[in-house]
Amino acid sequence: MTDSDLSPAPVTPREPDTQTLGESAADLGFPDGFLWGAATAAYQVEGAVAEDGRGPSIWDTFSHTPGKVLGGDTGDVAVEHYHRYRSDVALMAELGLTAYRFSVAWPRVQPDGRGAINQAGLDFYRRLVDELLEHNIEPWLTLYHWDLPQPLEDAGGWPVRDTAERFAEYAAVVHDALGDRVKAWTTLNEPWCSAFLGYASGDHAPGRRDAASAVRAAHHLLLGHGLATQAMRAAGRDTQIGITLNLYAISAASDDPADVDAARRIDGIQNRLFLDAVLRGRYPADVLADFSTVTDLDHIRDGDLAIIGTPLDMLGINYYTRHVVAGPADPPSTAPAPWPGSEWVRFVSSGRPVTAMGWEIDSDGLLEVLRRVYAEYPTIPLYITENGAAFDDEVTSEGTVEDQDRIAYLDAHLTACHQAITSGVPLKGYFAWSLLDNFEWAWGYSKRFGLVYVDYLTQRRIPKASARWYAGVIARNGLVTSSED
Ligand code: IFM
């Protein structure tokens, strides 16, 4: 392994981006052309898991394994987006969305994860994309949002190198089919989750608990990203290619050296591992040193980092919360955790209010993340590809959902986006997570993130107060700070 540069990369000071903030009815106007979207992911919304030739994914297997998902919930039906996509797109148009971020289910396109293409699966996405374009909604396509074809997991999954090659093959297939009409392409969504929740803590599919496998999975996901980027670029089309990372603001609980080191570890594995790899073509030396306590690094071959660092057109950032961390408990924790070396770390509360996920609400953290990425990494257009909150929504006797807590969350985070743009960060768009209430992975249907409420018995959609509020933001291209909003 010779690719990782052990010295810290220099930070290049630069002039602020020159986006001009628009004139609008808003107090905090966003730049003209700012993209206003909402996001979903295939397994969370589509349902129809056995239709039109779709094969099983690791999430089908995992959710059907007793004890893995709260309440035994599965994505078998989800919110029937596969069948209801037309009315869902009409709903998007009513809200005024200018972009829709969705993912393609790999096992719909290649049920075996390799070789033969299932045309019926591809056709669904072509119909969805055409419907979006007819409504002037820009399709934002993510190739991998966690639903690995089960046959590839049976062959070793992301810890084996071949999966990266298979991903690039699949990416080229989808890009060939849809690259004429989809301009914005994301390779992976949140590879941290795929690697460390999937293979270290076992909270996500495929549910393995082996830190060494997780470290290997992280590298092969990134390699798959790089190979897929190169394969799509080779087609010579005018598509924009990026990746979506889940980034966190990280604070040490105090300046005690053990707390500071805990913050270094978590920042390393959550943020720098992925940012450095894709934007600098290197791994942070301290993270590799942490990893070498759980596995050798023989799986990282010469040349891999150059592939992983293939230049991108944009970076997607998913932001939800800040982690406040302290040094180890006494005695150190031995519970399964997604962070190799987690025995050195404790997550502590800072006392901020939390969402229904128990995640602390910290919009300053979003500003911090945006400014940090802009300051420390090569200039690249940034998009918030997910941001939002689960709350315990209820339908009133009038049939409405008055989710003022979600409005406050979105308002605060969009204010942070506006501040970032004002200080020169090249932020070009924002996607709320999520368009619809949906299958929240190991939490099943118990957590509602949608702008639109879904009655899971009838599949009726009820736009929440936050949806109406967001529609107003889009119409004004900005936020109003007066109490009338
Ligand atoms: O629902 C998920 C999504 O699939 C990935 N990002 C975080 C969301 C909320 O947990």
Ligand 1 atom 10 nearest Cα: 440
Q: Which residues contact 68 (CB under 8 A, 6 or more apart)?
A: 62, 205, 207, 442
Any catalytic annotation for residue 398?
Answer: no
Cα of 42 vs its chain's centroid, Å: 13
What are the start-end ranges of the H helices in 103-155?
Answer: 106-109, 119-134, 150-154
Q: Which residues contact 408 (CB under 8 A, 6 or more apart)?
A: none
Ligand 1 atom 2 nearest Cα: 440
Whole-angstrom distance between the N-terminal and C-terminal Cα of the chain?
A: 56
Summarize pLDDT for 320-353 with one digit per residue, the tens: 999 999 999 888 888 888 888 788 899 999 999 9
Ligand 1 atom closest to Cα of 246?
6
Distance CA 477, CA 27 (A): 10
- Please work out whether the CB of residue 146 comes within 6 Å of at least one atom of ligand 1: no
Distance CA 448, CA 450 (A): 6
Alpha-carbon Rg for the chain in angstroms: 21
Measured in angstroms, how far is the CA atom of residue 387 from the centroid of ligand 1?
Answer: 9
Distance CA 173, CA 118 (A): 11
The Cβ of residue 458 has, within 10 Å, a number of other Cβ atoms equal to: 7
Q: Find the angle CA(101)-CA(50)-CA(114) to the nearest 5 degrees.
A: 70
Give the residues across from 29 on adjacent strands. 478
Ordered mean pLDDT values, 10 residues apiece, the chain (485 residues): 37 58 80 98 99 98 98 98 98 98 99 98 98 99 99 98 98 98 98 98 97 97 99 98 98 98 97 98 97 96 98 98 94 81 90 98 98 96 99 98 98 98 98 99 98 98 98 98 63
- Please work out whether the CB of residue 435 comes within 6 Å of at least one atom of ligand 1: no
Measured in angstroms, how far is the CA atom of residue 9 from the centroid of ligand 1?
Answer: 31
Q: Which of 46, 131, 190, 360 is catalytic?
A: 190
Measured in angstroms, how far is the CA atom of residue 16 from the centroid of ligand 1?
Answer: 31
Structure tokens given for 128: 């969805």
Ligand 1 atom closest to Cα of 357?
10
Distance CA 167, CA 281 (A): 20
What domains can you pick out in the chain, each with its CATH number? 27-480 (3.20.20.80)
Measured in angstroms, how far is the CA atom of residue 403 from the centroid of ligand 1?
Answer: 19
Distance CA 395, CA 59 (A): 30
My answer on whether omega of the bond before 331 falls inside 30° of 0, hence cis, is yes
Summarize pLDDT for 414-454 with one digit per residue, the tens: 999 999 999 999 999 999 999 999 999 999 999 999 999 99
Measured in angstroms, how far is the CA atom of residue 204 from the centroid of ligand 1?
Answer: 12
Ligand 1 pocket mutation pick from 391, 441, 446 by most atoms within 8 angstroms of CB: 441
Any catalytic annotation for residue 138?
Answer: no
Query: Which DSSP string do the residues of 351-369 spell out, in sequence order?
Result: ---B-TT-PBP-HHHHHHH
- Please work out whether the CB of residue 437 comes within 6 Å of at least one atom of ligand 1: no
Distance CA 302, CA 124 (A): 39
Ligand 1 pocket mutation pick from 101, 186, 409, 449 by most atoms within 8 angstroms of CB: 449
| Residue 172 and residue 122 in contact, taking contact as beta carbons nearer than 8 Å | no
Task: Give the three-class secondary structure for 307.
Answer: helix
- Please work out whether the CB of residue 386 comes within 6 Å of at least one atom of ligand 1: yes
- Please work out whether the CB of residue 203 comes within 6 Å of at least one atom of ligand 1: no
Indicate the angle between helix axes 363-376 and 404-422, nearest 10 degrees. 30
Specify the pLDDT at position 341. Answer: 78
- Please work out whether the CB of residue 470 comes within 6 Å of at least one atom of ligand 1: no
- Please work out whether the CB of residue 41 comes within 6 Å of at least one atom of ligand 1: yes
Q: Would residue 262 be called left, alpha or beta, if left means φ above 0 and alpha means ψ between -120 and 50 degrees?
A: alpha
